[in-house]
Amino acid sequence: MHLSILFPAIINGLLTGAIYALIALGLTLVYGVLHIINFAHGALLTAALFAAFFLHKLFGIDPYVAVFILVPAFFAFGYALQRFVIGPASHGDDGNILLVTLGLSVIIENALLYAFRADTRTIDLGYGFSVVSVAGMFLSAPRLAGFAGAVVVALLLWLLLTFTDTGKSIRAVAKEKLGAQLSGIDVAHVYAVTFGLGTACVAIAACLLIPTYYVNPHVGNAFVLIAFTTVVLGGMGSIPGALIGGLFVGVVESLSGLYLGESLGQIGIFLMFILVLLFRPSGLLGELA
Amino acid sequence: MSNNNNRFSRRKFLQTSALTAAAAASGTLVAPSIVRAQGSAVKVGLLQPVSGALSYSGQQGRLGASIAVDEINAAGGLKGLGGAKIVPVLGDAQSTPDGGNAEVEKMNSAGVSAIVGGYASAICLATTQTAARYDLPYIVDVGVTDAIVTRGLKNTFRFGPGFGVLAKTALANLVAINDKAGKPAKTVMIVHEDSAFGSGLAKLLNAQLPGKGFEILETIPHPTPTRDFNNVVLKIKAAKPDIVIPANYYNEYVLLARTMQQQKVRPKAAIYSVLGGAASSYKFVKEFPEAAQYIMDCNHWFDPRNPKALALKRKVEAQGQFFTYEVYMNYSAVLLLADAINRAKSADRAKITEALASSTFAGHVMPYGPTKFVNGQNEGAAPANTQVIGNDIQVILPEAFASAKPVYPLPPV
Amino acid sequence: MSRAGFLPIVAAVIVLACAPFVTDSNAVLNFLVTALLLTLAGQGWNVLGGYGGQYSFGHAAFFGTGAYVTAILQVRYGLNAWPAFGIGIAAGAAVGAAIGVLTFRSGLRGSYFALVTLAFAEVLRIIASVAPITGAGVGTLIKLDLGARALQFQSRAAFYWFILALVAISLAITKLIEQSRFGAWLVAVRENEDAARALGVDVTRVKLGAMTISAAMTAAAGCFYAQYFLFLDAAIAYGPWISVEALLAPIIGGVGTVFGPLLGALMIKTLGEAAKHVTGDVPGLDLVLYGVVLILVIGFAPRGVAGLIARCRAWLMPPVRLAPETAHD
């Protein structure tokens, strides 16, 4: 394959991978602490995309500005979901948590379908098509912003977890729930905060994704499997793992798409995923804390 | 265990009653709950995937069919039955074959005289088969797979064109357009979605294009959904084909077109889409006028000179919806059915089937030849070639229906 | 081996077998057929996930293999439907064993195991969507040939009894497992794998055995799907939808119980129909209701419908017991 295609393909993979990383960051945090696989993650992404869309359509708010509105809003939404729906309904049982999040994803997706119909919606932003010319390649400016965003969010999350009290409580609960409880940490609250953080990450991903993508009630589903793959690959619960995992998945997807065709190429991600798990079961960077 | 017998009998009792209750509950729910129509009404099933992945197309299809039903009823009902009204029985196929199947069963139990719809080929294959068990006439609205009409099912009718005709016409028109302009194009690249319609089409094009003097540089399949087309566009950029032929659904088409615009990739002669998801979509033209300019499509389209079609277009747009192919194809299918019922002067399934088989219905809004059903396929059905010119979609072929001349090859940027 | 334990199964099967005599509505029969199809797929999942504690997110891999093998053998090689059906089940079991060997040897457990099964199912789906033998994107269509010889029955009732027979076999197998030493080992592995290993249980072999049986059952459901609907493509055969439904039914009905998948399947399907009924033809609203009720059910019946029945039973039974109450029958 000629270098003139190979090199841009790798760069494309990194840019796409950044979005995967952003979506996976929230998922890995939730898994690392609550040990639940959040089936509703895709639906939450869809909801965030709709929110970003309507903020632009009704109020003219640019997605990059909308981030600051949606992050607290979705944090609250996620907190409430865990505190008042998932936690109580599942009674702590893994199988039930799975089903509750599954139920939530059905509700969210179909509520959006009912409220807004199935039309595919896009935002037309002035800078949506703007490109940055680098070494003969045309790189989409919004996607570059997405890449920067992923790195920044990963860094912020890591800082939050390492240096703040909330972060320390979260890590304590992740490591040893009973011990944390005995030291006076309100586990239910920490769980809810974690879920809220995970949902807020998804909101950021949505704002960074919407300039170059589209919105409809089923759009999140396309990202769910990739997000799970990224999380496990990077190591469940590892923030740097989700970032690196996402970028890695993006590049693998891009290269296997290039060599095997876009359809068969999808197999690259899953084969790599299987191989990594068979030989390194805890993922590239292991567990949280 | 000493209390074994107790446990056995209680458990059995509870389980059996749970099962019976479930079965009984399901029975009342699945059995027809619709108010039995009076003698002067005909029930028609309108089956569409209004939820699930295909929900947009399903909702558009239901819209077109519902408007047709309302219009017929408002104009005095079915004349052949003395003004009987059509009572629509709506069904949601939930975008799966088994969902569609269950709806057909329910519609049959509800006593429908015919069913219109299905949309997707996979759904239609299952639903037409089930309807055949009850000799229930079924008009497929869109589903293009040839297998739908080659299974020898007497009840199945398709008013619109299938794959074979679509590919043949698309090719013939491409050759005609290219020849007329002095054959500026030789090389072609095909980008298609990898399920039934895209793969089937790509296969036919691959078989027939070389024979017409075109060289296929590459055929690129992609899944639905595809999240990113940058690599595909890179390949197009590197191969520099004269013509790019996309065949995919709306969302992917939009992403492809946007990415091509962003990467400043433009084929020399044309983007010639076959069954392009957005290539002949008013929504696409409205939202991305620059990316849509001059794109050609060979697709289902309405007859632009038919006043009934234009009236329907105004009606749909007044409701804030886009005038998409699902709308007018379902509209025409319902009109076809009404005509058959009128000619049969009966709501009896067998008589309707007979009337459909011998139908020469001309009161539709499609740019078709004379209606004639052979093995359930309307031989008069054909696609039209459109092109986006000046922020509107014009028909460029067949000449009998054309509203503009093709702009080909693409004018220099 | 307690023969009395099989009586509930016999009773349930007899009751269900009477359905075609109670109703002549094909809509109801179709509903029951799809419920039993789901039951069979879920029963497979239940053996591995409920009894073995290994939650799989990729049971589509077995469903799809059973379906495609059955279909391809008929369409491309002209084999009769009945042996094709059997080979389809065997193929599904083989895929299960293969995946089991790879994953259990590496010691994958819990969520990692679940997601790796998902990955395998996706790999198969992608291959099926491009491989010529499956018809790639266009899919595979089994020729319509109504008659018992081609395993395509004219009457829905015949299909119904056929799937009921398969479900009955799966119930019996599950009960046998429950009462056997193999079953005890399986439950031991579920409760505490390391302790079981320390006690001398060959954990890998036990898990492998459960996986193979599990795969065979779900593959049978796939083979039936092919015969009933006659059309397959990669998304139908290997899509996530069947992986989700196969785990939804047992968890709702009660994991690790013989009747869990059956009760769960009936409940889910009934709920789906009821939701449609209540909300009319508005797109999406019925599924919202469905999701809400699902969450409520899980919230109030965390051990599934079977758990609910067990609680009712405990409430109805006198408080004095001669033997400690066990979780399962």
Q: Which CATH class is domain C3-316?
A: mainly alpha
- What residues in C contact A237, CB-CB < 8 Å? none
Beta bridge partners, B299, equal B384
The tokens describing B165, both together, are 């005709």
pLDDT at A57: 92
pLDDT at A289: 35
Among C56, C288, C292, C303, which would you mutate to test the A interface (most chain A Cβ atoms within 10 Å of its Cβ)? Answer: C288
With CA atoms as reference, the chain C residue closest to A275 would be C116
Task: Assess: ipTM above 0.85.
Answer: yes
The tokens describing A276, both together, are 């990594």
Domains B41-160+305-381 and B164-299+385-401 share a fold: yes
Query: Model's pTM, two decimal places?
Result: 0.90
Average pLDDT of the residues in B1-28: 47
User: 3-state class of A74 per DSSP?
Assistant: helix
Distance CA C179, CA C108 (A): 27
C86 and chain A in contact, CB less than 8 A? no
Across the interface, of B234, B251, B262, the residue whose CB is closest to A120 is B251
Residue B132 Cα, gap to closest chain A Cα (Å): 31
A57 and chain B in contact, CB less than 8 A? no
Residue A95 Cα, gap to closest chain C Cα (Å): 7
Kindly report the number of other CB atoms within 10 A of residue B114's CB atom. 27
Task: Give the domain range for residue A266.
Answer: 3-279
User: Which residues, at least 6 apart from C298, have a Cβ–Cβ distance to it below 8 Å?
Assistant: A89, A90, A96, A99, A100, A103, C252
pLDDT at B405: 92
Average pLDDT of the residues in A37-43: 90
Pick the more confident residue, B163 or B176. Answer: B176
Query: pLDDT-based confidence at A93, cuts 50/70/90?
Result: confident
Average pLDDT of the residues in C89-99: 97
Q: How many domains does chain A have?
A: 1
Query: pLDDT-based confidence at B32, cuts 50/70/90?
Result: very low
pLDDT digits over C32-83, tens only? 999 999 999 999 999 999 999 999 999 999 999 999 999 999 999 999 999 9
pLDDT over threshold 80, residue B202: yes
Query: pLDDT-based confidence at A177, cuts 50/70/90?
Result: confident
Q: Do A96 and C127 touch (CB under 8 A)?
A: no
pLDDT digits over B278-328, tens only? 889 999 999 888 889 999 999 999 999 999 999 999 999 999 999 999 999
Q: Do C229 and B59 touch (CB under 8 A)?
A: no
- What residues in B contact C27, CB-CB < 8 Å? 30-32, 102, 105-106, 108-109
Mean pLDDT, chain A, integer: 89
pLDDT over threshold 60, residue B114: yes
pLDDT at B285: 92
Among C123, C228, C231, which would you mutate to test the B interface (most chain B Cβ atoms within 10 Å of its Cβ)? Answer: C231
- What residues in B contact C235, CB-CB < 8 Å? 195
pLDDT at C326: 56
Q: CATH for B164-299+385-401?
A: 3.40.50.2300
From chain B residues 121-140, the ones with a CB under 8 A of any chain C CB are 122, 125-126, 129, 133-134
Q: Which of A147-151, B23-27, B61-65 has the lowest mean pLDDT?
A: B23-27
Helix C181-191 to helix C156-179 angle (10° resolution) is: 80
Query: pLDDT-based confidence at C161, cuts 50/70/90?
Result: very high
With CA atoms as reference, the chain C residue closest to A280 would be C106
CATH number at residue A151: 1.10.3470
Mean pLDDT, chain C, integer: 90
Residue whose pair of structure tokens reads 């359930």 in the numeric block = B376
Domain map (residue ranges) of chain B: 41-160+305-381, 164-299+385-401
Fold of B41-160+305-381: Rossmann fold (3.40.50)
Pairing of strands A137-140, B270-274: unpaired
Q: Which of A196-210, B329-343, C107-121 has the lowest mean pLDDT?
A: C107-121
Among B218, B235, B248, B262, which would you mutate to test the A interface (most chain A Cβ atoms within 10 Å of its Cβ)? Answer: B262
What is the separation of C-alpha B67 from the centre of its chain, rounded to a whole number of angstroms? 17
User: Which residues, at least 6 apart from C163, have a Cβ–Cβ distance to it below 8 Å?
Assistant: C33, C36, C37, C40, C224
pLDDT digits over A235-271, tens only? 888 899 999 999 999 999 999 998 888 889 899 999 9
With 0-12 / 13-18 / 19 or more C-beta atoms within 10 angstroms meaning exposed / middle / buried, residue C109 is middle
Distance CA B327, CA B57 (A): 9
User: Which of B116, B175, B179 is CA-nearest to residue B142?
Assistant: B116
pLDDT over threshold 80, residue C169: yes
- Positive or negative, the CA dihedral A52, A57, A58, A61 is positive
pLDDT over threshold 90, residue B27: no
